[in-house]
Amino acid sequence: MDATPPISDAYLEDLAYVHDDSFGFIATGAAKTLAAKLTERGLSSGLVIELACGSGISSALLMSAGYDVLGYDISAPMIEIARERAAAVPPPAPPYGVPAAAVHAPNAEFRVASLYDAEFAPCIAVTGVGEAFNYLFDPRAGFESMCAVFSRAFDAIAPGGVLMFDIAEPGRAMPRLEHHVWQGDGWHVVSETIEFPHERILERRIKTTRAGPDGERVTDELHRLALYDHEEAYEALRSVGFAPLTLASYAEDFRFGTGHGAFMAVKPYAA
């Protein structure tokens, strides 16, 4: 059997730092949305599996809400930040009259791995926030692989639980070429995004400049994403057994626009 081709480097140290420093609003809104949905469905505790968990911003918020977290990301620098953040999360305050020792202290575990190698333990939710399924760092990525994850997630999620994720869709780059510059304390990022409509591929060429004790350091990354049709993803979720809903936003923190959609897919209770 042929070995799996190597996974490309993704979110190296400096870009991981920048993303955590200034681009955590999607993760924040996603965690709020998920916690609200789980609470609505009477799921106030349990395991949430985060695919492409990033720097643990959503993980920390879910822990604060009382959930255990198992996070996967192919970026070792992202996982390092996630572990540090989770370690600093205080246990939830006990309800009035309940001893602190009687309150469950949420647990978090983080693993450096592709989402396609994730182990799906029994859980109440699975997430893939931040276009997790679109990225082509892992050569196994693609629409069929995403659908296979849907099936594995469905088997692992408890009845009433959810799969929540967002995807990049055709039209994500409007116009077909975008140029952005961002700056923060000690860093500078230039990003060029090109969409190839006929191939349904998006490329982001990202140059990160970050100040350090030995001067400025410049790193370049190429992020390639496959673009998926919203209706096709919706039907794929239904075919697995989920009852999918389309999300307009992640809480008040991030509203989806052209070429970017999200789903809250509920696993029905047995008839």
Same domain, 75 and 118: yes
Same domain, 45 and 164: yes
Same domain, 110 and 33: yes
Identify whether 5 is part of a domain: no
Identify whether 2 is part of a domain: no
Identify whether 204 is part of a domain: yes
Confidence at residue 54, expressed as pLDDT on a 0 to 100 scale: 98
Identify whether 194 is part of a domain: yes
Backbone angles phi, psi at 246, to 5 degrees: -90, 135
Confidence at residue 98, expressed as pLDDT on a 0 to 100 scale: 73
Confidence at residue 4, expressed as pLDDT on a 0 to 100 scale: 59
Same domain, 197 and 247: no
- Where do the DSSP E strands lie in the chain? 47-51, 68-73, 108-112, 123-128, 157-168, 177-184, 187-196, 201-212, 215-226, 243-247, 249-250, 254-255, 260-266
Tokens of 55: 């720097």
Same domain, 162 and 188: no
Q: Rounded distance, CA 36 to CA 21, Å? A: 25
Same domain, 207 and 120: no
CA dihedral 56, 60, 62, 67 (to 10 degrees): 100
Confidence at residue 102, expressed as pLDDT on a 0 to 100 scale: 62
Identify whether 271 is part of a domain: no
Closest CA to 74 of 44, 29, 112: 112
Range of the domain at 200: 177-225
Identify whether 114 is part of a domain: yes
**Which domain CATH number covers 221?**
2.20.25.110
Same domain, 84 and 196: no
Same domain, 116 and 192: no
Q: Let me know: does 162 contact 266? Beta carbons within 8 Å.
A: yes
Same domain, 94 and 201: no
Identify whether 7 is part of a domain: no
Same domain, 141 and 249: yes
Same domain, 221 and 89: no
- Looking at the 3D structure of the chain, how many domains does it have? 2
Instruction: Please give the distance of CA 262 from its chain centroid, rounded to a whole number.
Output: 11
Q: How many CB atoms lie within 10 A of CB 258?
A: 11
Identify whether 23 is part of a domain: yes
Q: Which residues of the chain have pLDDT under 70?
A: 1-5, 100-103, 271
Confidence at residue 1, expressed as pLDDT on a 0 to 100 scale: 44
pTM (predicted TM-score) = 0.93
Residue 56, helix vs strand vs coil: coil
pLDDT tens digits, one per residue of 122-140: 999 999 999 999 999 999 9
Same domain, 20 and 116: yes
Percent helix, percent strand, percent coil in the chain, to nearest 5: 30, 35, 35
**Which domain CATH number covers 72?**
3.40.50.150
Q: Let me know: does 209 contact 224? Beta carbons within 8 Å.
A: no
pLDDT tens digits, one per residue of 20-54: 999 999 999 999 999 999 999 999 999 999 999 99
